[in-house]
Structure 1
Amino acid sequence: MPTEDKNTPRIDLVEFDNNPLLCSKVDYILNNPKTIGYKNRTNSPNQIPAGTIINYSESLDNVPNLGIVRFSNCDPACPLTIKWSDKLEVYGCDSLAKNGLYARIFRTWVATNCMGKRLDTIQKIDFCRPGVADFQFNGSGGEDYDRIVTYSSCTPNKDSIRHIDVTPFAVKTGVLS
């Protein structure tokens, strides 16, 4: 019977948000330490330097979190170094047509102890393009229209039309919508 290696890090908790996000959020989320932390919270672990978690102590940053992995080590005299890093893959038209997937971030979590033993896991953060139902106009419509804009002008003038009045924006329920 093999004995358990008490010097190897172990995973105590994996908590990832698996909801797909809008493709417009890729640049904001990629390598952003403020998106690390427990789901449905806006506190993130302190990281010095960015990408290295220190004792899971937290600070409020008011950014919704996408997940966290809690590692531990049986030997308190052999501390863990916990790091994460992101790799972005952007997909082509075939993937968009097949499953609506625009891009995916592979967030790799690694715990290494003082003896160099390590354990890792990977979080997948999916990004999709918005569908027609995900678009909304800034304001109300009426009858058969999504948006009605009225300007106080006797003659039509394209220069008086504001971009915000006629351009829909994408929304999606879930984290960081």
Structure 2
Amino acid sequence: MTRLYLLVALVLSVILPVQAANETSVGYVDMQRVLEESKLGQRLQEQLRKDFEPRAKELAEEELAIKQMQQELGRNKPLMSNAQVEKKEEEIKSRIESYQKEAMPVQQELMKVQQEKGREIIGPARKAVDAVAKKKKIGMVLERGLAGLVYIDESLDITDSVIKQLDSTTK
């Protein structure tokens, strides 16, 4: 009799997990695409661009000027005296240091604002993922960019549905 119970328990322990696995569906979402393609994500990116583009443009112009100075020094170095070369190298070094001092706070501020804006979209995006998962009866949703995820079937992608859901619930 105990052997019968053991056999039934063994059979059930094999069948039930397989049955449960068949009923649980899995999907994935590409959060980078949600950030880039949703209306909310595009609005936040445009706001970042508007806020930081003028400063980034100034920094890019200064970087270009420094590169031109370095190229000019490289071309004219054989024709210059040692004192002139040292003076030009000091000038370039000084401009590089000034550029770095100016660029560092802008980069830090940009990173801080990007994180804040990221938090503004993560909440609504998670709600959209939850809504799509419930509507499609998906038991588990993974993020596509998840480290260690080597392969995933494209048919499990719910990113488009999440973007539509997010767009429908945000202004």
TM-score, structure 2 as length reference: 0.20
The structure richer in strand per residue is: 1
The structure richer in helix per residue is: 2
Q: Which structure: larger Rg?
A: 2
Q: Which structure has the higher relative contact order (CA within 8 Å, separation 6+)?
A: 2
